[in-house]
């Protein structure tokens, strides 16, 4: 709940405005941030002067939403809230270096390690909801329980949606026709509204915008990846999304991750890019076929992330100028 942008939280639960007002929290200028990020914006002096207890405010917000949903009779579709990985063994049959790892929706987890270190094994275990019956000996829990067999055998209930590095379409369809087919297969009522939502979000991610009547076979690599990320975020029923090397996608990576997290997906991101790794809440370090350790992104690393993002923005700006035939310069 605390990882959702305030604007999206208000749209989903309009009554939360009363919570903010009753606690004298002015969020009007910060709706693009999460509640946690908003609270982190208070200085030490503010916290002392106004007796701000950030942990209590976040916990009380979740309790307030829960109580209001019960009072108003709001029922939401049952979704996966968490996924837990229980350790197995690496290729040398040594026990993995963690006790358990629980991933929550709206959380970004980076997966890092050398090529061939075991990323595919980890993905396969999650996708198959392993129960100590794979080569790694890992077990997977869904919402802290042994998972229903539907995650293994139902074609309509896939635990993991994969976004691979290369997206190649072979169907002779326009973007609209492709999205109409997917929306119809999901029994969506407002197909037109969903299609407009997806194309809008996809064009926020893509370096070059495209139209609904564009043939999908003519989309560039970046446009294809942008379309599939928006489609997965908005239409896919899979609660977990694995992204492979998004740094090479030719899209706005930060916006892509924000979109997936805003739709309450658990995002697992395999990457070699330090900027993307530090965007994650935690990162899984894989060595020799096993999980060596789990690292939580520290405050110092978040400060480093700010500097890396500044450099990344400069590079992205120069790339845009290059595409547009402008003279390249650091002066803006």
Reported as a single tens digit per residue, the pLDDT across 102-148 is: 999 889 999 999 888 888 888 889 888 899 999 999 999 999 999 87
Question: What's the domain count of the chain?
Answer: 3
Rg, the chain, Cα only:
21
Picking from 48, 72, 96, the residue at the C-terminal end of a domain is 72
Residues paired with residue 142 on neighbouring β-strands, in sequence order: 83, 145
- pLDDT tens sequence across 181-211: 988 877 777 889 899 999 999 999 887 889 9
Half-sphere exposure of 202 (CA within 13 A, CB side): 29
Residues 173, 29 share a domain: no
CB 204 within 8 A of CB 260: no
pLDDT attached to residue 73: 60
Do you know the residue count of the chain?
Answer: 332
pLDDT attached to residue 85: 96
Residue 273 has pLDDT above 80, yes or no: yes
Cα–Cα–Cα angle for 103, 104, 105, rounded to 5 degrees: 130
Residue 312 has pLDDT above 90, yes or no: no
pLDDT attached to residue 139: 96
Residues 28, 141 share a domain: no
DSSP-assigned states of every residue in 167-216: ----S--BHHHHHHHHHHHTT-S-HHHHHHHHHHHHHHHBSS---TTSBG
How confident is the model over 83-100, as a mean pLDDT? 94
pLDDT attached to residue 207: 74
Residues 293, 306 share a domain: no
List of residues 6+ apart from 314 with CB closer than 8 A: 330
pLDDT attached to residue 94: 94
Residue 77 lies in a domain: no
Mean pLDDT of the chain: 85
pLDDT attached to residue 157: 63
pLDDT attached to residue 301: 94
Q: Are strands 108-112 and 282-287 parallel, antiparallel or unpaired?
A: parallel
Burial of 101 (0-12, 13-18, 19+ CB in 10 A): middle
Residues 330, 186 share a domain: no
Q: pLDDT band for position 162 (50/70/90)? A: confident
Among 29-38, 126-135, 172-181, which stretch is predicted with the lowest mean pLDDT? 29-38
Q: Are strands 101-104 and 282-287 parallel, antiparallel or unpaired?
A: unpaired
Picking from 25, 46, 72, the residue at the C-terminal end of a domain is 72
Specify which of 19-33, 83-97, 206-220, 313-327 reaches the highest per-range mean pLDDT: 83-97
Residues 106, 63 share a domain: no
Among 5-19, 73-87, 109-123, which stretch is predicted with the lowest mean pLDDT? 73-87
Q: What are the backbone dihedrals phi and psi of residue 305, each rounded to the nearest 5 degrees, phi first? A: -60, -40
Domain span at residue 13?
6-72
Residue 47 lies in a domain: yes
Q: Are strands 101-104 and 240-244 parallel, antiparallel or unpaired?
A: unpaired
List of residues 6+ apart from 28 with CB closer than 8 A: none
Cα–Cα–Cα angle for 159, 217, 252, rounded to 5 degrees: 60
Q: Residue 184's CB: how many other CB atoms inside 10 A? A: 10
Residues 272, 171 share a domain: yes
Question: Which among 236, 187, 231, 227 is positioned nearest to 209, based on CA atoms?
Answer: 227
Residues 144, 54 share a domain: no
Q: What is the domain-level CATH number for residue 224? A: 3.40.50.300
Residues 327, 249 share a domain: no
List of residues 6+ apart from 46 with CB closer than 8 A: 52
Cα separation, 202 vs 228, in Å, equals 8
- pLDDT tens sequence across 37-79: 888 888 888 888 778 888 888 888 888 888 887 776 665 555 7
Cα–Cα–Cα angle for 228, 84, 7, rounded to 5 degrees: 50
Q: pLDDT band for position 282 (50/70/90)? A: very high
Cα separation, 92 vs 76, in Å, equals 45
Residue 1 lies in a domain: no
Residues 182, 282 share a domain: yes
Residues 114, 20 share a domain: no
């Amino acid at each position: 709940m605390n990882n959702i942008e305030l604007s999206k939280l208000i749209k989903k639960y309009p009554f939360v405005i009363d919570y903010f007002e009753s606690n004298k929290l002015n969020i009007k200028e910060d709706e693009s941030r999460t509640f946690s990020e908003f609270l982190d914006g208070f200085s030490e002096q503010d916290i002392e002067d106004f007796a701000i207890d950030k942990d209590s405010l976040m916990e009380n917000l979740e309790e307030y939403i829960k109580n209001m949903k019960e009072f108003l009779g709001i029922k939401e579709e049952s979704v996966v809230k968490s996924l837990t990985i229980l350790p197995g063994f690496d290729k040398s049959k040594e026990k993995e270096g963690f006790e358990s790892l629980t991933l929550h929706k709206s959380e970004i987890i980076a997966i890092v390690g050398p090529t061939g270190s075991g990323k595919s094994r980890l993905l396969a275990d999650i996708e198959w909801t392993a129960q100590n019956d794979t080569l790694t000996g890992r077990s997977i829990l869904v919402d802290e329980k042994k998972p229903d067999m539907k995650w293994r055998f139902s074609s309509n209930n896939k635990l993991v949606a994969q976004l691979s590095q290369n997206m190649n379409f072979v169907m002779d369809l326009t973007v609209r026709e492709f999205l109409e087919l997917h929306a119809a297969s999901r029994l969506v009522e407002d197909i037109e509204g969903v299609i407009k939502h997806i194309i809008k979000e996809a064009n926020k991610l893509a370096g070059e915008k495209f139209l609904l009547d564009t043939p999908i076979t003519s989309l560039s690599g970046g446009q294809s990846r942008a379309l599939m990320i928006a489609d997965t975020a908005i239409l896919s029923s899979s609660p977990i999304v694995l992204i492979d090397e998004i740094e090479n996608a030719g899209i706005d990576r930060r916006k892509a991750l924000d979109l997936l997290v805003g739709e309450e997906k658990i995002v697992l991101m395999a990457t070699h890019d330090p900027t993307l790794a530090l965007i994650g809440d935690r990162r899984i370090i894989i060595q020799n076929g096993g999980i060596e350790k789990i690292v939580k992104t520290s405050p110092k690393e978040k400060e480093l992330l700010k500097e890396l993002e500044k450099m990344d923005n400069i590079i992205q700006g120069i790339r845009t100028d290059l595409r547009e035939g402008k003279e390249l310069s650091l002066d803006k």
